[in-house]
Amino acid sequence: MLAKLILTDPEKCQGCKRCELQCAIEKSEGKTLLTAIKEQQRPRIRVIGNTQSIPNICRHCDGICIANCPTKAIQRTPEGAVIIDEEKCVNCLLCLGACPFDVPRVLERTVMKCDLCISKVLEGRVPACVEGCPVSALKFEMRETPIDRRLLLSQAFALPPRRYDLTLRASESPKEIMDRAKTIARTARLLEVTASAKRAREKLGLAPPPGDAVDELSKLVAATMLSDKMTEIKIWTSR
């Protein structure tokens, strides 16, 4: 079945979070910014990521949330969207545990997720977040649905490699984390002794400099990557 879906392009995303704002406005009663604030609406799309902004939204994939829902509150509509029936939802949070993309969010008595702005789409318009994105990092395009979630997971955060990327990815195994920690540790190791410096050291009668400790350092970096990040560290005290 072909259906239009929201596709994200993390490389274009600038992290302005306008999609979040537009989503909250669209979901509010009065569909204005004021009503959204008054109702304390929360967006269905989230811009995540530490070094790189990644718009995170429901992919409407062949997710196991549908199969996991004990009350069959989560259903796929004929338009290809996966939606939650709030009447049936008993807030058991099994869909939260099932979602590999960390998409469903808990409300007071129910769970919320993207419904692909189904009412807007039926009018022939595009979803609010796609409409709001100023850099077309979000697109509303035709795809074969449902998309295989394993395929999505392999591409989910397929960003260009960054030199100092400390963001943990959803798909990473401990071995991958260790590999990345080693890369970071290598950037912080001591420089190689150049041939000319080696000659100069010999000429000046200096012993070769002590070796570095990259293995120990990579262990340390991996430990900091896995630990809770400190949100606040005291910076320079004032003069």
Partner 1 sequence: MPLKYAFYPGCIIPRRFPHIEKSARLVASHLGIDLMEMENTTCCPEPFAIQSIDRMTHLSMAARNLCVGEEMNSDIMVLCNGCLATLWHANEILKTDYKARNAVNRALETTHRKFKGDLEVTHFYHVLADQIGVDKIGSAISKPLKGVKVAIHYGCHLLDPAFATRHDTINQPRGLERLIEAIGAEPIAYERQYTCCGGPIRGINDELSKSMLVEKLNAVKDAGADCLTVFCPLCYTQYDLGQLLEQRESRREFNLPVMYYPELLALALGYSKDEIGLSEHSITKNIEKMVP
Work out whether 224 is an interface residue with partner 1 (CB under 8 A).
yes
- Cα separation, 176 vs 152, in Å, equals 19
Q: Which two tokens stand for residue 101?
A: 């993309």
Work out whether 176 is an interface residue with partner 1 (CB under 8 A).
no
Work out whether 227 is an interface residue with partner 1 (CB under 8 A).
yes
CB nearer partner 1, residue 107 or residue 190: 190
Q: Which stretch binds partner 1 (CB under 8 A): 77-85, 121-129, 169-177, 208-216?
A: 208-216
Q: Which two tokens stand for residue 202?
A: 């010999």
| Alpha-carbon distance values, 210 to 4, 157, 192, 193, 200 (Å) | 61, 40, 11, 11, 16
Smallest gap, in angstroms, from Cβ of residue 175 to partner 1?
16
Smallest gap, in angstroms, from Cβ of residue 102 to partner 1?
21
| Residues 6+ away with beta carbon under 8 Å from 81 | 3, 60, 115, 116, 118
Q: What mask, x for binding partner 1 by CB under 8 A, covers residues 120 to 159?
A: ----------------------------------------
Q: What mask, x for binding partner 1 by CB under 8 A, covers residues 27 to 66?
A: -----------------------xx---------------
Work out whether 200 is an interface residue with partner 1 (CB under 8 A).
yes
Query: Contacting partner 1 (CB under 8 A), which of 7, 126, 166, 178?
Result: 166
* CA dihedral of residues 58, 63, 67, 69 (deg, nearest 10): -20
- Cα separation, 74 vs 16, in Å, equals 30
Work out whether 192 is an interface residue with partner 1 (CB under 8 A).
yes
Query: Contacting partner 1 (CB under 8 A), which of 134, 155, 161, 164?
Result: 164
Q: Which two tokens stand for residue 225?
A: 């990557």
Q: Own/partner pairs for 94-97, CB < 8 Å, 24+ apart?
A: 94/65, 94/68, 94/69, 94/70, 95/65, 95/68, 95/69, 97/68
Work out whether 191 is an interface residue with partner 1 (CB under 8 A).
yes
| Alpha-carbon distance values, 179 to 167, 184, 190 (Å) | 13, 9, 19
Work out whether 179 is an interface residue with partner 1 (CB under 8 A).
no
Q: By the criterion CB under 8 A, which residues form the site for partner 1?
A: 50-51, 164-166, 184-185, 187-194, 197, 200-201, 203-206, 209-210, 212-214, 216-217, 219-225, 227-230, 233-234, 236-237, 239
